[in-house]
Amino acid sequence: MKKPTLPGTRGLAFECITRTLDGNADAQSVLDNILSAAGPDQRDRGFITEIFYGYLRTRIRLLSVLKCFLSRPEGLPEPVLRVLGMAAYEILHMDVPAYASVDWGVDSAKRLSRGKLGGLANAVLRKVARLADDGVDEEFFRRNTKTEAEFLSARYSCPEWIVDLWVKAYGQEQAEMYLEAQTLPPAAGFVLDTGDKKAAAVAALLMKEQDFIETDGQAFAFPSGQFPEAFKTLNRGTLFRRSYAARQALAALSPKEWPVPVWDGCSGRGGKSKFLVSQGIAPVFASDPHKGRISALKKDLADFPAFRASAIASPLANNSLGTALLDVPCSGLGVLARRPDTKFRRTPDDLASLVVLQSRILENSWRTVRTNGRLAYITCTLNPDENERQIATFLHRHKDARLLKEWTTPPDSELREFFYAALIEKI
């Protein structure tokens, strides 16, 4: 059966949502592919991106609102319910005239239902528009939910199982900080190659202007969507988009003090390796099981030693490393603001299997670290079983292991991404 499509920029956002949710595809890859194929101008690209990611971040909240005005939401075709959610997102969260969002939602519902559901869409979206004038606040969700977990899930647009996990692990107050953060766009992170004179001058200018969230002098975090004018003057290859929170987690483990050589055992596209190289740490080499990621790394660092391999069964000799850096596969619950589709792909069973995988990586990598060497462990998740308890269990198994440092992104971080990091010494 042919998948439903809609015209225009909103139609492209609808296509992104459909491919992501129905095809279980990575949201950023879907967006990149559709924007590349369609070639919209910069303004339309921003509009599509905001609706797409905004809808994914607030989908559960939007459905909770719509259910107040639908007698049988489960009876609606999913594409129509999706259109109503997109229009509701515009009405509740964007600076778009409500009539424009209502008109688009009604026209799209008609198109998707062969004219049958236009009246329903009109009635529902007009009620959403009136609700927006009054404000969709805490009291609204409390009136329309039965339990505390259901309330938190609806208000913060997060599956109840994640709500339960965070409340149990971190307490109500801290859990709500994490929940609120994942409903909002993350900070925009950039790294400048300050070995380049022009890039160094731009970094100095940005430091002087102080219009950033955080910086270490080479990397900067700005509010979402901000792109400093000075960046437009830089030469190709001297500016990179990177998560500042990920860099912060790595820096928290004081890598300049690590014994060498350093093996980046889960390198991905090489962001961590590039950071280590920029800090003058050598020798460093990297591996990852995915060919595309290694190719991307070598594109930026042509002569950098990198190869395909899995850290699950390290190909390296025992006692050969000064430091093993492991940014392990994880559930990704700490970066839901950047990857909101994770909320709909992950299950509690996934977390249990990832704990086993991480444990295998730790065990195999530990053998490669020499005495007095280090093992650096990093995740981008908020789950004690993958973080603190994983490391505590490892330390209990290995009497030759000593915890040097344990760090987590502060819960009130304006970066809106949360990492865990631990540094272990082999004694």
Does the structure show a pLDDT above 60 at 201? yes
DSSP 8-state class, residue 113? H
Residue with tokens 């609808």: 14
Span 291-329, pLDDT tens digits? 999 998 988 888 899 999 999 988 899 999 999 999 999
Does the structure show a pLDDT above 70 at 130? yes
H/E stretch holding 284 reads strand 284-288
* Tally of residues, the chain: 427
For residue 101, the tally of other CB atoms under 10 A from its CB is: 23
**Phi, psi values for residue 297, rounded to 5°:** -65, -45
Span 349-398, pLDDT tens digits? 999 999 999 999 999 999 999 999 999 999 999 999 999 999 999 999 99
> Per the structure block, which two tokens stand in for 293?
């990621």
* pLDDT > 90 in the chain, percent: 93
Long-range contacts of 228-233 (CB under 8 A, 24+ apart): 228/202, 230/202, 230/205, 230/206, 231/190, 231/202, 233/198, 233/202
pTM summary value: 0.95
Per-residue model confidence (pLDDT) at position 5: 87
Does the structure show a pLDDT above 80 at 1? no
> Per the structure block, which two tokens stand in for 159?
């599956």
Span 226-263, pLDDT tens digits? 999 999 999 988 999 999 999 999 999 999 999 999 99
Per-residue model confidence (pLDDT) at position 2: 64
Whether the Cβ atoms of residue 9 and residue 23 lie closer than 8 Å to each other: no
Look at residue 190 and give its three-state secondary structure.
strand
Residue with tokens 């927006």: 132
Our CA dihedral for 60, 64, 67, 68, rounded to 10 degrees, sits at -170
Q: Return mean pLDDT, the chain.
A: 96
Q: How far is the CA of 29 from the CAs of 21, 34, 222, 230, 253, in angstroms?
A: 13, 9, 23, 28, 31
Pick 3 or 45 by higher pLDDT.
45
d(CA 246, CA 339): 14
Characterise 158 by phi-psi region: left (phi > 0), alpha (psi -120 to 50), beta (else): beta
* pLDDT > 70 in the chain, percent: 100
d(CA 18, CA 24): 9
Q: What is the mean pLDDT of residues 6-34?
A: 96
Look at residue 215 and give its three-state secondary structure.
strand
321-327 and 284-288 strand pairing: unpaired
Q: Annotate 223-259 with b (16+ C-beta within 10 A) or e (fewer).
A: ebeeebebbeebeeebbeebbbbbbbbbbbbebeebe
d(CA 305, CA 287): 9
Per-residue model confidence (pLDDT) at position 266: 95
d(CA 404, CA 59): 41
Identify the weakest region by mean pLDDT among 11-20, 34-43, 214-223, 348-357: 34-43
Strand order through the sheet with 401-408: 306-308, 284-288, 262-264, 321-327, 369-379, 420-426, 401-408
Does the structure show a pLDDT above 90 at 3? no
Does the structure show a pLDDT above 60 at 6? yes
Per-residue model confidence (pLDDT) at position 342: 97
